[in-house]
Structures are given as structure tokens and as C-alpha cells.
Amino acid sequence: MGRRMTDSLTVALIQREITPHDPAGNLLATLDMLHRCADQQVDLFVLSELWATGLVSPTDQSSTNLAESPNGPSIEALREFCAGTQSYLLAGTLALKGKNGLRNTSLLIGPTGEIILEYSKIHLFHPMGEEAIFEAGTTLEAVEVKAVGVGVVICCDIRFPELVRALARAGCEVILVPALWPEERINHWETLLRARAIENQVYIVGANGLANQNGIFFPGHSMIVGPAGEALNSPEMRESAIVRKLDLRKLRKMRSELCYLDEEIEVRGVHWSSKVNETKDRTV
């Protein structure tokens, strides 16, 4: 007999106001929000990018000193929460210490408290100097959560459609996107989440932080988007726990009728029929 597929997955997206440079306070506030919605039979909790510290700046040594080891206090507390509630949790991202420096890393914790996925941000955001702080990841990561394929990309990774496409082609039906996305480009955030959902026929869970740091406002606007691009919640600029049941039967029915992944045709190169000669005299 084949493995029984899960029909639904209940996700809780935690949008919380981040206090910069206060990991202990952020952890207590996050745990409080987690416990307050733990009785809603949540399968998977999702936190935002750098939820424990806020931005880590190359010009602020005190912020880089907030980086944790893989067995640091934030991770250990979240592992204990998962074991106590027998739930899965994506620990947003944390500035984690590694052998070669810091990484902006997502950890997915399983229902016994074990870490079952570790993914580091591939596309570092140059305008904020992330390449001066973090070592970029190189490998996409996916894992099964209650027999549902789940993949992770981080913040501006969502601008690169080939990442989500690769996860979808590998069997992912749900993509988690922890982020710290600024108000200035929040329309990009909402559009990109919808686009990645539509073109790959997946659920997208975008958890954006709520913060004001270094003159930049991060407005939340977290969204859960269905496989047809439909928003399952209204984006808001306040602390909230967004709990939604993802209907995997709907997604699979849609793919059975028309699967864009199966329709994809590989195209190599661009053939120029004509090309402007930049040295040509254009005077009239």
C-alpha cells in the first residue's frame, strides 16, 4: 500500500513586533504568542526573519554579538515548546554562528524537539550590507511535515523564481517565507508571494516582521496565499497570529486538471533576429 497523503495542514503565522537587540525579551514575547494559539490544533508555526534580534548591521558590532550558536537559548526554548505541544515550528531566521562566520538561517523543529531542516539564505540583500555579515547558503532544503512537502526560502530569495520552482518540482506543496521586508517595497512583497503561488500551484506562507529600526519601517503584511494566488488573510500592520487550514485536496485537484510544472518547456538561449548596432549613426 502507498503512503496515505495528508488532506490538510493547519498553519499559524506569528507576526510580532520585534524589539531590536533584545533577544531575551523577543523570545518571551514570541513564546507568549505561541502558547496563546497552541490550543487551535496547529500543525506548523512560522516565525519571521531575525525575530529575536532585528537587523544585524555590519557597522554595529553590538548587533553582530547577538548571534547565537545552534544550541543557543532561543533555539532550545523553541525546541522545548515543540516537544511540549507536539507541533512543528519554523524558527523564522536567526543569526547563527557557524564554522566560517555568521549565517542568516532558518531552522525547522519537529514535534519531539529535533531540528529537521536547516536552510541559510542564498540571496543576501546587498543594500543592507548582508554580504558583509553573513555567509550565503548554497543549497535548497525541503522536508516532510505530516507527509506534506515543505520548502523554505528567505525574504529576497522570493524574487528569484527558480528557487521556488525547484522546490515545487522536488515535490513541495507548501513554501515558507520568513522575511524582514520594508514598507517602501511592500507592494513587491505581496505581488511576489502571489506570483510564486500561482506559477507553482503551491501554498505560500509569508511571515514578515513588524519593526522600526535604523530608519526603516517593516510593516508586517504577512500573508498566506493559496495555489490560485488567493489571499487567505488580510495583510495588517499589527501583532497577530494568523491561523489557517491549508486544503491540500484543493491544490492536488488543481494540479490534476492542469499542472504548470508538467507543462514547462526548457528553452536555452535567446536568438536575436536583429540587434541594434550601438555604433550606427542615428542622425536624421
Query: Across the strands, what pairs with 203?
Result: 174
Query: Across the strands, what pairs with 179?
Result: 208
Residue 171 predicted with pLDDT over 80: yes
In a domain, residue 269? The reply is no
Question: CA 230, 192, 144 angle in degrees (round to 5)?
Answer: 75
The structural domain count of the chain equals: 1
Q: Render pLDDT for 39-64 as a digit per residue (tens, 0 to 9).
A: 999 999 999 999 999 998 877 777 77
The CATH number assigned to the domain holding 215 equals 3.60.110.10
Residue 89 predicted with pLDDT over 70: yes
Average of per-residue pLDDT values in the chain = 93
Distance (Å, whole) CA 150 – CA 147: 9
Determine the pLDDT at residue 267. 86
Determine the pLDDT at residue 278. 56
Determine the pLDDT at residue 191. 98
Distance (Å, whole) CA 95 – CA 49: 9
In a domain, residue 259? The reply is yes
Q: Percent of the chain scored above 70 by pLDDT? A: 95
In a domain, residue 217? The reply is yes
| The model's pTM | 0.94
In a domain, residue 271? The reply is no
Distance (Å, whole) CA 22 – CA 280: 60
Distance (Å, whole) CA 50 – CA 208: 10
SS3 245: strand
Determine the pLDDT at residue 164. 98
Enumerate the H helices of 104-245 as residue ranges. Answer: 161-169, 186-200
In a domain, residue 283? The reply is no
In a domain, residue 167? The reply is yes
In a domain, residue 84? The reply is yes
SS3 103: strand
Residue 283 predicted with pLDDT over 60: no
Determine the pLDDT at residue 3. 55
Residue 84 predicted with pLDDT over 80: yes
Q: Are 71 and 109 in contact (CB under 8 A)?
A: no
Q: Are 217 and 22 in contact (CB under 8 A)?
A: no
Q: Render pLDDT for 98-155 as a digit per residue (tens, 0 to 9).
A: 777 899 999 999 999 999 999 999 999 988 889 999 999 999 999 999 999 999 999 9
| Full residue range of the structural domain in which residue 188 is found | 8-263
Pairing of strands 174-179, 142-145: unpaired
Amino acid at 13: L
Residue 277 predicted with pLDDT over 80: no
Determine the pLDDT at residue 279. 53
Determine the pLDDT at residue 284. 42
Determine the pLDDT at residue 281. 52
In a domain, residue 278? The reply is no
